[in-house]
Amino acid sequence: MTGYTYTLFIIMIPLIMFLVTGLLGMKWKPIVSGLLGTTGMGISWVLSLVTAGSYFFGGHHAEGFQTIIPFEMKWLQFTDTLIIKMGILLDPISVMMLVVITTISFMVHLYSIGYMHGETGFARFFAFLSLFTFSMLGLVIAPNIFQMYIFWELVGVSSFLLIGFYYQKPSAVAASKKAFIVTRFADLGFLIGILILSFVTGTFDFAKLTQPGTAIFGSAASMSFLGISAMTWAMTLIFIGGAGKSAMFPLHIWLPDAMEGPTPVSALIHAATMVVAGVFLVARMFPVIHFQAPATQEIIGYVGGFTSLFAAVIAITQYDIKRVLAFSTLSQLGYMMLALGVSGYGGEEGLGYMASMFHLFTHAMFKALLFLGAGSIIHAVHSNYMYDMGGLRKYLPITHMTFLIACLTIAGVPFLSGFYSKDEILVAALEHNKLLFAIEFLVAGLTAFYMFRLYFSVFWGKDRHYHHTPHESPLVMTIPLMFLAVASIFAGYLPFTELVTSDKVGFESHMNFAVAIPSVLIGLFGIGMAWILYKKESDVPAKLAAKFGMLYTATYNKFYFDEIYLFVTKKIIFNYISRPVAWFDRHIIDAFMVGIGLTTEKISYQIKGMQSGQLQHYAFMFVAGTLALALSMIYLLM
Amino acid sequence: MNILTLLVLIPVLTMIAVLFTKDYKGARLASAIGMGIELIATVYLVLAYLAARKTGMMHEMLFTSDFIWYPSLNIHFAFGVDGIAVAMIGLTSIVIFAGIFASWELQYLTKEFFVSLILLVTAVYGFFISLDLFTMFLFYELALIPMYLLIGLWGTGPKEKSAMKLTLMLMAGSALIAVGILGLYYNSAPGGGQLTFNILEISKIKIPVAAQRFFFPFAFVGFGILGALFPFHTWSPDGHASAPTAVSMLHAGVLMKLGGYGCFRVAMFLMPQAAQEMAWIFIILTTISVVYGAFSAIWQNDLKFINAYSSVSHCGLVIFALLMMNQTAMDGAILQMISHGLMTALFFALIGMIYGRTHTRDVREMGGLMKVIPFLAVIYMIAGFASLGLPGLSGFVAEMTVFVGAFQHHDMFHRVVTVIVASSIVITAVYILRVVGLILLGPIKDAHHEHLHDAKWYEKLSTVTLVLSVAAIGIAPLWLSETIIASLKPIVEKLASIL
Q: What is the pLDDT along chain B (499 residues), one digit of tens a residue?
A: 688 888 888 888 988 888 888 888 888 888 889 899 999 999 999 998 888 888 877 777 888 888 888 888 888 888 888 889 999 999 999 999 998 888 888 888 888 888 888 999 999 999 999 888 888 899 998 888 888 888 888 888 788 888 888 888 888 888 999 999 998 888 888 777 788 888 888 888 888 888 888 999 999 999 998 888 888 888 888 888 888 888 888 888 888 899 889 998 888 888 888 888 888 899 999 998 898 888 888 888 888 889 988 998 999 999 999 998 888 999 999 999 999 999 999 999 999 898 888 888 888 888 888 888 888 899 999 999 999 888 889 989 999 999 998 988 878 888 889 989 999 898 898 889 988 888 888 888 877 777 888 878 888 888 999 999 999 998 988 888 888 888 888 888 888 887 6
Q: How confident is the model at residue A220 (pLDDT cuts 50, 70, 90)?
A: low
| pTM of the predicted structure, to 2 decimals | 0.89
A416-A420-A423-A429 Cα dihedral, nearest 10 degrees: -140
Lowest mean pLDDT among A76-90, A457-471, A477-491: A457-471
List CB contacts of A241: < 8 A, sequence separation 6 or more: A152, A186, A187, A189, A190, A191, A193, A278, A281
pLDDT at A222: 66
pLDDT score of A506 more than 80: no
The 3-state DSSP class for residue A27 equals: coil
Q: How confident is the model at residue A219 (pLDDT cuts 50, 70, 90)?
A: low
Per the rule left: phi > 0, alpha: psi between -120 and 50, beta: everything else, A147 is: alpha
Taking a C-beta distance cutoff of 8 angstroms, is the pair B304, B348 a contact?
yes
Which run of H or E residues covers position B353?
helix B327-358
Per the rule left: phi > 0, alpha: psi between -120 and 50, beta: everything else, A558 is: left
For residue B201, the Cα-to-chain-centroid distance in whole angstroms is 26
pLDDT score of A106 more than 70: yes
Nearest-CA distance from B18 to chain A in Å?
A: 37
Residues 422-481 in A contacting B (C-alpha not used; CB under 8 Å): none
Q: Which amino acid type is present at position B430? A: V
| pLDDT average, residue stretch A608-614 | 74
| pLDDT average, residue stretch A73-84 | 86
Instruction: Determine the residue of chain A that is closest to B477 in CA distance.
Output: A76
Which run of H or E residues covers position A69?
strand A68-77
Residue whose C-alpha is closest to residue B477's, from B398, B424, B417: B398
Count CB atoms within 10 A of the CB of residue B64. 16
Q: How confident is the model at residue A221 (pLDDT cuts 50, 70, 90)?
A: low
CA separation for the pair B341, B92 (Å, rounded) = 9
Q: State the DSSP string of B260-324.
A: HHHIIIIIIHH-HHHHHHHHHHHHHHHHHHHHHHHHHHHH--BHHHHHHHHHHHHHHHHHHHHHH
Residues of B in contact with A151 (CB under 8 A): 391
Helices (H), B78-208: 83-102, 110-129, 133-154, 159-186, 199-204
CA separation for the pair A152, A158 (Å, rounded) = 10
| pLDDT average, residue stretch A489-507 | 79
Instruction: Determine the residue of chain A that is closest to B234 in CA distance.
Output: A590
pLDDT at A529: 78
Counted across chains A and B, CB pairs separated by less than 8 A come out at 135
Predicted confidence (pLDDT) per residue in A257-279, tens digit: 888 888 888 888 887 888 889 89
Residues of B in contact with A195 (CB under 8 A): 403-404, 407, 415, 418-419, 422
Residues of B in contact with A78 (CB under 8 A): 328, 401, 404-405
| pLDDT average, residue stretch A394-422 | 84
Helices (H), B24-82: 24-54
Q: How confident is the model at residue A1 (pLDDT cuts 50, 70, 90)?
A: very low
pLDDT at B69: 83
Residue whose C-alpha is closest to residue B366's, from B442, B304, B430: B442
Which run of H or E residues covers position B68?
strand B62-70
Backbone angles phi, psi at B443, to 5 degrees: -75, 160
Strand partners, A385: A320
Residues 77-116 in A contacting B (C-alpha not used; CB under 8 Å): 77-79, 82
pLDDT at A394: 79
CA separation for the pair A135, A409 (Å, rounded) = 29
pLDDT at A133: 92
Q: At what angle do helices B327-358 and B478-497 cross, to 10 degrees?
A: 130
Nearest-CA distance from A95 to chain B in Å?
A: 24
